[in-house]
Structures are given as structure tokens and as C-alpha cells.
Amino acid sequence: MTPEERLKSLGLVLPKVPTPVANYVPFKIDGRTIYLSGQGPRKPDGKLVTGRVGEEISVEQAYECARLVGLGLLAAAKLAAGDLGKVEALKLLGMVNAVPGFTDQPKVINGCSDLFVEVLGDRGRHARSAVGMGSLPSNMPVEIEAIMRIVD
């Protein structure tokens, strides 16, 4: 099954790649390596989800936010590679905007990691870091950046 077929079977649609809000690009390619800029969770209408984990956002809601970010990263990867079937995830950096003392960052970032494996299969398995932040831009609960590779 192709990644696009997996997306369809999950009832998911890749969003439009958001236009950067500052002086950067959604991705940069070096040889076969794709560096994807950090993204926050966007609803299907494009509106950014906001709130702090452990305050306005629960761990379960934050997991879903990370899943939304994963869809956005897959959309950018597809734009970069031309086909999700040519993409392999290498590394994620997941940042969680949470209250002091919050320690469930890995549970949150699993939303993106799980999605990558569901859509890309073994090519979705990756190295990763999941860290807590005192704040994130626009008060988004999660920001994730990724490094991927274009494969034959």
C-alpha cells in the first residue's frame, strides 16, 4: 500500500503547506536530505491551535495536535520529494509548550511519530527528541521539525 493509500484508508488528507510567517522556507534540500522547518498544529481550516499543555490543553489533545503537525510535515515532505513514496523519516525534534514540571513530552510527540509509521510504514520510523519549552510562538502547544531523506 502506498503512503497516499494509507492516508486515504485512515480518512486523512494532507493540508496545504503553510506560507512561512517570517524569513524562512518550508523546507530545504541538500542532496537527498530534506530539512523541514518547524510547524505548529493547524486545524483543517488552517487556523493555528493555541494553548499550553497541562493548562488549556490535555495530553490527549496535545497528542492530536502533534498528529496534525505530522500531517503538515508530510505535506511539506511530499512537496519537496514530489511523492510520499520517496520519503523516509530520519529525525524529529518535538517541542512541547507545557506548564512547569510537565514530563510527558514523549507521549505528546508520539502523535507525530505514530502517524509517520502509520503512513510511511518502516520508512516512518525515526530518531527523535521530545523536549519541554516555557513557551512557543503564538502560544501553540506543539512545534515539530523533521529531517527526512529522499529514497529511490
For 80-123, the pLDDT digits (tens) are 999 999 999 999 999 999 999 999 999 999 999 999 999 999 99
User: pLDDT at position 82, please?
Assistant: 96
CB 95, CB 136: distance < 8 Å: yes
Report the half-sphere exposure of 81 (CA within 13 A, side-chain side).
24
What average pLDDT does the chain have?
96
| 40-67: pLDDT as tens digits | 999 989 899 999 999 999 999 999 999 9
**5-40, pLDDT tens digit by residue?**
999 999 999 999 988 888 999 999 999 999 999 999
CB-based contact 7:13 (threshold 8 Å): yes
**For the residues 59-77, what does the mean pLDDT come to?**
98
Contacts of 96 (CB under 8 A, 6+ apart): 53, 62, 102, 105, 108, 109, 130, 131, 132, 133, 141, 142
Q: Please tell me the pTM assigned to this model.
A: 0.97
